[in-house]
Amino acid sequence: MSQKILLTSNEVNIILHRLACQLIENHHDFSQTVLVGIQPRGIFLAERLKKIIQQDYNIQQIALGYLDITFFRDDFRRTNKPLEANQTKIDCVVENKKVIFIDDVLYTGRSIRSALTAIQSFGRPSEIELLVLIDRRFSRHLPIQPDYYGRQVDAINNEKVKVSWKENEGEDGVFLINSNHQK
Amino acid sequence: MGELSVNHLLGIKYITKRDIELIFETADHFKEVINRPIKKVPSLRDITIANIFFENSTRTKLSFELAQKRLSADVISFSAAQSSVKKGETLIDTVNNILSMKVDMVVMRHANPGAAHFLSQNVKACIINAGDGAHEHPTQALLDSYTIREKLGELAGKKVVIVGDILHSRVALSNIYALQMQGAKVKVCGPKTLIPRHIESLGVSVEPNLKKALEWCDVANMLRVQNERMDVNYFPSTREYAQQYGVTKDLLDSLHKEIVIMHPGPINRGVEITSDVADSSQSVILNQVENGVAIRMAVIYLLASKIQ
């Protein structure tokens, strides 16, 4: 298994600030906006962006929820891996709000397809946008594209893009993992 | 998380502690789902489930049907009164006829102990036991444990007394297995005629005095007297049973602590518990019903994920 660094901790930090600015440009004071972190790994990015917007740009009232898509996935009984559910926590109203889905890596687009169905259980948002840290372009199975992305990556199918977070893994960083050597 | 160690849910006896934990973790997520504005997930949209009830049931049948519909499964239900069983068809034939209509899972209640186990060995479908005679009622025991866990944190070290008609109760047996597996201590309490012989061999002790039993416990699970299963008189009169083994508000107030009161339903108000106890803040009877849907969703979801 070989591992290549795509983004260092410093580069991740710069990108996060740029994404925060792009969000502020479009969503102003966030009074009509709900950030939704997609479980399990989108929540770190969502929490981090919220923190940056609150601390560095002094916008305090930001609604943030976690959305788990396990029960909405289209590969139930079609994958050998048991599907693991995570907590959903949406304490705010999404009806008529602008929802921003936040996830770490956009790959086939199927998770986002599931999230689009799952969010409807909580109401009808006025619009939904998508923010991802890494966009694995040319890998999509569905017509889904991000509105904001940190970095576009061209990776082949047996490569995996892994995003590490300070809160979880101890250090920020994005890695390209090639599993070919495992065999 | 992972997957269940079994392909059918026939009884608590056949599953492991880890299975119970997995079902509870999954039920936590489904409990959140059924409290959403839209209480439905599409996971089982390609699964068909038959609910076959050879014995009367209101709560369990409704709870299973609701759980299946919340998971988007297709559901067919029938009760024995309207079925060809009355015309002399065997159990295996009845079920195989249903299965040939492309059914993936069968939820069955039957008056004979072991009916679900027998079916699981003779037909090709996932079987969930919704009560087989006086043997087991696994989903009820799971939802009872889940409700205790929700109310008291964890089961290990907790003391639970099961009061009433233990002899005819499948809920009692499944509960004893489930509670002991999770480290709770169990006592049974009731008239000597309604306590099965050799019940001590399951590791439970018998306390004939209700007051002493309630003083000992953290949770009291009150069972209904199953008159429909009684061929002879097991106690002199209902009035005498209620006086000896009925829980009243006065009795609860005379204890030195607050205990949790459970009942699997249907309640005979004034017999095993009085109305003021059933409707008191100590009673978790309606929580049990709500948790029943989440638990059954979890069981069905986890078993469906193993259907090939």
CB atoms within 10 A of CB B156: 9
The length of chain A in residues reads 183
On whether any CB of chain B is under 8 Å from the CB of A66, the answer is: no
* Cβ contact, residue pair A88, B29, below 8 Å: yes
Cβ proximity of A97 and A68 under 8 Å? no
Q: Are residues B131 and B16 both part of a single domain?
A: yes
Q: Which residue has the tokens 């007394």?
A: B161
Confidence of residue B9 (pLDDT cuts 50, 70, 90): very high
Q: Are residues B21 and B150 both part of a single domain?
A: no
Given a cut of 60, whether residue A181 has pLDDT beyond it is no
Q: Are residues B295 and B231 both part of a single domain?
A: no
**Pairwise CA distance, residues B218 & B260, whole Å:** 6
Q: Are residues B244 and B295 both part of a single domain?
A: no
Given a cut of 60, whether residue A56 has pLDDT beyond it is yes
On whether any CB of chain A is under 8 Å from the CB of B43, the answer is: yes
Q: Would B45 be classed as within a structural domain? A: yes
* Cβ contact, residue pair A71, B43, below 8 Å: yes
Q: What is the pLDDT of residues B91-127, one digit of tens each?
A: 888 888 888 988 999 999 998 999 999 999 998 899 9
Q: Are residues B180 and B104 both part of a single domain?
A: no
Q: Domain total for chain B?
A: 2
Cβ proximity of B276 and B124 under 8 Å? no
* Cβ contact, residue pair A76, B44, below 8 Å: yes
The distance of A95 to chain B (nearest Cα, Å) reads 11
With a threshold of 0.95, tell me whether the complex ipTM lies above it.
no
Question: Nearest residue of A to residue B4 by CA position?
Answer: A82
Question: Nearest residue of A to residue B39 by CA position?
Answer: A121
Q: What is the pLDDT of residues B18-67, one digit of tens each?
A: 999 999 999 999 999 999 888 999 999 999 999 999 888 888 999 999 99
Q: Are residues B17 and B89 both part of a single domain?
A: yes
Give me Rg for the CA atoms of chain A. 16
Question: Nearest residue of A to residue B27 by CA position?
Answer: A85
Contacts of B175 (CB under 8 A, 6+ apart): B140, B141, B144, B145, B160, B162, B186, B221
* Cβ contact, residue pair A123, B37, below 8 Å: yes
List the one residue out of B211, B7, B221 whose CA is nearest residue B105.
B7
Least-confidence region, from A41-45, B52-56, B126-130: B52-56
Q: What is the pLDDT of residues B146-190, one digit of tens each?
A: 999 999 999 999 999 999 999 999 999 999 999 999 999 999 999
Cβ proximity of A174 and A5 under 8 Å? yes
**Pairwise CA distance, residues A64 & B144, whole Å:** 34
On whether any CB of chain B is under 8 Å from the CB of A85, the answer is: yes
On whether any CB of chain B is under 8 Å from the CB of A77, the answer is: yes
Instruction: Read off the pLDDT of each residue in B225-230 and give the average, rounded to a whole number.
Output: 80
pTM of the predicted protein model: 0.89
Q: Are residues B197 and B265 both part of a single domain?
A: yes
Q: Which of B19, B43, B47 to mutate to test the interface with A (most CBs of A within 10 A)?
A: B43
Q: What is the CATH number of the domain that holds B37?
A: 3.40.50.1370
On whether any CB of chain A is under 8 Å from the CB of B301, the answer is: yes
- Amino acid A3: pLDDT: 87
**Pairwise CA distance, residues A179 & A158, whole Å:** 6
Residue A103 bridge partners (DSSP) = A132
Mapping DSSP onto H, E and C, the string for chain B reads CCCCCCCCECCHHHCCHHHHHHHHHHHHHHHHHCCCCCCCCCCCCCCEEEEEECCCCCHHHHHHHHHHHHCCCEEEEEEHHHCHHHHCCCHHHHHHHHHCCCCCEEEEEECCCCHHHHHHHHCCCEEEEEEECCCECHHHHHHHHHHHHHHHCCCCCCEEEEECCCCCCHHHHHHHHHHHHCCCEEEEECCHHHCCCCHHHHCCEECCCHHHHHHHCCEEEECCCCHHHCCCCCCCCHHHHHHHHCECHHHHHCCCCCCEEECCCCCCECCCECHHHHCCCCECHHHHHHHHHHHHHHHHHHHHCCCC
Instruction: Read off the pLDDT of each residue in A54-82 and give the average, rounded to a whole number.
Output: 89
A76 contacts on B by Cβ (under 8 Å): 43-44, 304-305
Instruction: Read off the pLDDT of each residue in B247-252 and give the average, rounded to a whole number.
Output: 94
Percent of chain B with pLDDT over 70: 98
CATH 3.40.50.2020 correct for A12-21+30-71+85-159: yes
**Pairwise CA distance, residues B251 & A42, whole Å:** 53
CB burial of B218-246 (b: ≥16 within 10 Å; e: otherwise) equals: bbbbbbbbbeeeeeeebbeeeeebbeebb
The partner residue sitting opposite B305, judged by closest CB among A76, A86, A117, is: A76
Domain assignment of residue B115, given as a range: 12-136+289-304
Q: Would B21 be classed as within a structural domain? A: yes
